[in-house]
Chains A and B, each alone.
Chain A
């Protein structure tokens, strides 16, 4: 509680409020410090007082031995998992808790960590949370109280920056590579402000909204966006801006988006060692979309094909017969964690391809690899051919 009060003072909060739910990002293992912090809390017998889900961990508890994870690292990361599990939390181990556990409801005050999940909870569900940093999220779950600041308060949820999309073809709006690109642009233009998107004629799917959140919260600090006519606090432009005017407006054309898309991919024709899908964690619907793309095909011997997801979603996919096509293709699944949060990649991996803006943004720095970006079908095709193969037709006027 003392940490929360000190943070409240720094953020100049006038009061503390109750929360009814938490999502803990502190589960990411970053070295001895995060383990010591978790074990100190667990050792004091700390228990959460609200329903609390857990974000990805530092290790795939079931399958880390199949990859390059050093045993000493796995042991410590696993101890950190046990520490957070001992506090009465739900061991969901996923960065897409909104697809695995009960969704927060509109207007609910919650304390969530994990940038994409914060953005999804605020933007898509209309729940209220600031982006809780690691170490503070668990304090909020244990006390059930947080400083009333930022997006917890109505007045900070008003749109500020307008992005007006002009002439974006509907088949592109439906594509899985569209939201990551739009998200990357959104994060770059809005930075830490609240952007409002107008001009979409297709209703985005839950997985597309997830990808939009991940992209905008990686390239920038977007914790809340509005889409006119689609998200719950933006039925009209007037509602999104609370009757006011945007402080900044941008007109976004197909050409602009195509340029951002190129920024994420510069590897046409190059060989690749890996394709990885599932940041944020792959959903059942995504397994359903992927399965027919893999039918009757086999990955190139030089290309690993990996899907990162939660154990709950993988169990559902198995029950629905969606893992057989993946296994027949030569693909593998990792649960609980992802390529950015556990040192699982083989040193031979020099270039990976993904349809995730988040993987594309962070992989060069965290993993020291080159990244290629494409939609799911491009990723499958490239895994078969062994070289980066991208169909740009949707991005051309």
Chain B
């Protein structure tokens, strides 16, 4: 049975992918390799996972101001996440997506959900983002790499 969450679309769009969830904030500069999509913050629980085409769920970004530039370059190289879900107003993520749209005509949706709904997402689930901030969660394929 699918779970449906209603969030707020910070950047509108439709996308789907396997979830990468963590309750720890992430700086994309120094935390996400724009050339490979790997999460490289060695102190972060998602370190070593590939974020490309995944739905990344983190409470908010942290650290560097260059998070936007890293995400923009990752869009240019086709290494960006499919979408990002946060609990805060993710201004950096939204900006990266908006500028990517202006420069390359490609972007990724950014959806803000409440903390309770955020906790319902788990790594490895299949997450679809629909317009209007509607997030659909289904179990997804079983795989050890997400446990």
- Closest beta carbon of chain B to A20's beta carbon, Å: 20
Interface size class of A (residues with CB under 8 A): 35 or more
Interface assignment of B83: CB less than 8 Å from any CB of chain A: no
Partner of A33, one of B11, B67, B73: B73
Interface assignment of A159: CB less than 8 Å from any CB of chain B: no
| Chain A contacts for B35, CB-based, 8 A | 31
Interface assignment of A137: CB less than 8 Å from any CB of chain B: yes
| Chain A contacts for B91, CB-based, 8 A | 7, 10-11, 133
**Interface residues as binary, A352-366 with B (CB distance below 8 Å gives 1, 0 otherwise):** 000000000110111
| Chain A contacts for B40, CB-based, 8 A | 365-366
Interface residues of B in 29-88 (CB under 8 A from A): 29-31, 34-35, 40-43, 47, 60-70, 72-73, 75-77, 88
| Chain A contacts for B96, CB-based, 8 A | 133, 135
Interface assignment of B5: CB less than 8 Å from any CB of chain A: no
The residue among B25, B40, B63, B99 with the most chain A CB atoms within 10 A of its own CB is B63
Q: A33-B73, A364-B42 are in contact. Are A221 and B103 (CB under 8 A)?
A: no
| Chain A, residue nearest B104 (CB) | A33
| Chain B, residue nearest A3 (CB) | B98
| Chain A, residue nearest B100 (CB) | A33
- Closest beta carbon of chain B to A27's beta carbon, Å: 10
Interface assignment of B92: CB less than 8 Å from any CB of chain A: yes
| Chain B, residue nearest A134 (CB) | B69
Partner of B68, one of A10, A36, A114, A134: A134
Asked whether A131 lies within 8 Å of B65 as measured between CB atoms, the reply is yes
Asked whether A113 lies within 8 Å of B98 as measured between CB atoms, the reply is no
20 A-B pairs with C-beta separation under 8 A: A3-B95, A3-B102, A10-B89, A10-B94, A28-B66, A28-B69, A30-B34, A30-B72, A31-B76, A33-B73, A34-B69, A133-B65, A133-B68, A134-B69, A135-B96, A137-B65, A218-B63, A221-B61, A221-B63, A366-B40
